[in-house]
Structure 1
Amino acid sequence: MSPHSPKLSIIPVQSASFISSADPPRWTGRIQLPGNRHVVDILIFEILGEFKAFPAFCPHQGINLTHCPLVGEKMLVCPGHQLCIEALNDTHSYHVEKVEGRFVVILIEEGPVDQNAQIFGDQHSLALERMREEIEQLRMANLKQERQILVITRSMDAMLSESELQKLNFKERAEQEKAFARFVNRILDTMDDLMFFFDKKGRIRRVNTAVERELGFTEADLVTSCIDDLLPVADRQYLADRLPILPWPVHSVVMETIRLNGCYSGEHELLSKHLDNAQAVYWLKSSVLHSEQGKLEGAVITALNITELKVREMRLRLSSKVFDNCSEAIFITDPQGTIQEVNDSFCEITGYERGEVLGKNTRLLKSNMHDQAFYKQLWHSLLNHGSWRGEIWDRRKNGELCPMLASINAVYDDQDQLMHYVAVCSDISQQKQTEQQLQQLAYYDALTQLPNRALFKDRLEHEIRVAQRSHTRLAVFFLDLDHFKNVNDTLGHWVGDYLLKIVASRIQRCLRESDTISRLGGDEFTIILPGLIGIADSTELAQRLNDEVQKPIEIAEHAIHVTTSIGIAVFPDDGNDFHTLTKHADTAMYASKAKGRGQFQYFEAGMNEAAHQRLLLENALRLAIEQEDFQLHYQLKVGGSLERIAGAEALIRWKRPGFGMMPPDRFISIAEETGLIIPLGAWILRMACLQAKAWKDKIAEFRIAVNLSPRQLLDDDFVSILDRILAETGTSPEWIELEVTESLVMHDIDKACERLCQIRSRGIRIAMDDFGTGYSSLSYLQKLPLQVLKIDRSFVQAYTGDPTSSEAIFIKTIIALGHSLNMTVVAEGVENESQLAVLKAHGCDEFQGYYFSPPLSADEFERLWLDPNKHAVDFTASLNND
Structure 2
Amino acid sequence: MRDTVSRVRVEGLAFLQDADPPRWSGHVSLLGQARPLHLLIFATAQGYAAVAAACPHEGYNLAQCPLQGDDTLVCPAHGMRVGLQARGFPVDRQGEAFFVAASALPSPLCEIAEHSNSDSAAGTIAQLDNEIGQLTLANFKKEKQILAISRTMEAMLEEAERQKLQLKDVASKQQALARFVNRVMDGMDDVLLVIDTEGRIKQANTAALRELDFTAEELLESPFDDLLSAADREKLSLRLPALPWAVRSVALETVRLGNGYAAEHSLHGRGGTMAGIYLLKGNLLHSEQGKLEGAVITASNISLLKDREMKLRLSAKVFENSGEAIFITDAQANILDVNTAFTTITGYEKGEARGRNVRFLKSGRHDHDFYVRMWQELVAKGNWRGEIWDRRKNGQAFPILLTINALMDDEGLVSHYVAIFSDISSLKQTEQKLEQLAYYDALTSLPNRFLFKDRLEHECLLAQRNHTRLAVFFIDLDRFKNVNDTLGHWAGDRLLQEVAGRIKVCVRQSDTVARLGGDEFTVILSGIEEAGDAADVAQKIIRALEVPLDINRQQIYISASIGIALAPEDGTDFTTLTKHADAAMYAAKAKGKGTFQYFEAHMNVEAQRRIELETKLRRALENGEFVLCYQPKADVGLSGITGAEALVRWRHPADGMIAPDRFIPVAEETGLIYPLGNWILRTAFLQAKAWAARFPGFRLAINLSARQLLADEFIADLADILRETGVSPQSIELEITESLVMHDIDTATRRLRSITAQGIRIAMDDFGTGYSSLSYLQKLPIDILKIDRSFIQEYTGPQDVERAALIKAIIAMGRSLNMRVVAEGVETAQQLELLSRHACDEIQGYLLSPAISAEQLECYCADFPQRSKAVS
Q: Report the TM-score range of the alignment, normalised by the length of the smaller protein.
A: 0.3 to 0.5
Give the TM-score of the pair, scaled to structure 1. 0.37
